[in-house]
A = this chain, B = another copy of it.
Amino acid sequence: MTAASVRTAAGDPTGLHRVLDDATVLPQAAQHLDTRKELWPDEVRVRVERLNLDAASFRQLERKHAGHGDRVRDEVLEIIETRGKMQNPETGSGGMLIGTVEEVGPESALGLAVGDRVATLVSLTLTPLVIEDGLARWDGRGEQVPADGYAILFGRSVAARLPDDLPHDLALAVMDVCGAPALTHRVVEQYTGGFETGLGGPPQPPEGPVVAVIGGAGKSGSLSLAAARNAGARRTVGVVPHEREAALLREAEIADVVVVADARDPIALRDAVEGAGGPADVTIVCVDVPGCEGGAILATAPRGTVVFFSMATSFSAAALGAEGLAADVTMLVGNGYVPSHAAYALDVLRDNAGVRGLFEGRL
């Protein structure tokens, strides 16, 4: 406890002062967080209403306990009590939460006020969390977890007020993936003359770039398709795994072309995107299955960009895959934070009946 005791003398915007591990690690990498209720001057405490578990994490727990909801609940409680945060040790992932601001430290820069209803846009994997009701209202059978308790936001955190004009479930589902459309918009804009380039910049197809979104009918995928069109894409291609999703995506009218391909089959993916007007100048990977790196690289034009939003992405498969294919493509780790990402994603949904329909169909 010595290290932690020393650290408590001064807070750090990263939340380092709440890490109880012996090594100096950030809260996300920590085994144990300090969940004391008292705030450091730049912190905010939120009264929790609901946890939204990461899909990959919930599925792993469901499989492990063969669908026994009470055992899933017991394990979630145990994780939170042991670690002081919700981080599935198997998947490494967490989720997000909604709640009401309960106290704001005098030096907080998050712009929140007591009584604000907010969603946290940083992962539960780094958020100090205490559950006070034993999750008694949750049957352990779904990712949405009604809960009473509190959570702490650090100086350098992100939380967004829940909008008044949208159902909370819908807003939460959008906020959960809001980094994808914002970053897609920024990347596509680089190919549209949004800025002039010389030697070092990407090529600028005169009529705008072709953008392929792998997993175009999903949450992050549909928002990214709409964002790509907003940012000036000449042609948007939505790739989906089977005909049922293709029909949904065609009906939503948010992609210029919809094609069916198994994203794990690199040649099938390359050929599908080429047949739809590719190769893509920008390829956005939104499917949460491993093994899509090679196909995404092959579907992308020289000097094009691949953005990996899928947590199933393998760093070495991407790096060595592009090298092995002599593919001069820029590959981005899909950063979940872009300034104003939540507001932008909610606007995309409001302005786009097709995207909204796909989201509502999943709630």
A residues neighboring B (CB under 8 Å): 12, 14, 16, 23-29, 92-93, 121-123, 125-126, 156-158, 179, 186-187, 189-190, 194-201, 265-268, 291, 294, 298, 308, 311, 313-339
Contact = CB atoms under 8 A, between A and B. Distances in A.
Contacts of A324: 26-28, 122-123, 125-126
A122 B328 CA distance: 13
B335 A339 contact: no
A326 B158 contact: yes
Contacts of A334: 319
A25 B198 contact: no
A76 to B, nearest CB: 19
A318 B157 CA distance: 16
Given A12-B267, A197-B195, A323 B308 contact: no
B328 A337 contact: yes
Number of copies: 2
A295 to B, nearest CB: 9
B319 A336 contact: yes
Contact of A198 (B196, B267, B319): B196
Contacts of A196: 195-198
Nearest to A155: B326
A332 to B, nearest CB: 6
16 contacts: A23-B265, A25-B266, A26-B266, A26-B294, A28-B294, A93-B320, A125-B324, A189-B199, A190-B201, A195-B196, A323-B335, A323-B336, A325-B337, A328-B337, A331-B333, A333-B333
A332 B333 CA distance: 6
Contact of A28 (B313, B320, B331, B337): B320
A24 B268 contact: yes
A265 B24 contact: yes
Given A27-B324, A123-B323, A318 B333 contact: yes
Given A194-B199, A200-B186, A320-B125, A339 B332 contact: no
A331 B328 contact: no
Nearest to A157: B326
Contacts of A195: 195-201
Contacts of A323: 121-123, 158, 179, 335-337
A354 B193 CA distance: 40
Contacts of A12: 267
Contacts of A328: 335, 337-339
A322 to B, nearest CB: 4
Given A25-B266, A331-B335, A316 B326 contact: no
Contacts of A322: 333, 335-337
Nearest to A7: B267
Given A26-B321, A315-B315, A156 B294 contact: no
B329 A14 contact: no
A334 B335 CA distance: 15
A325 B333 CA distance: 15
A196 B194 CA distance: 11
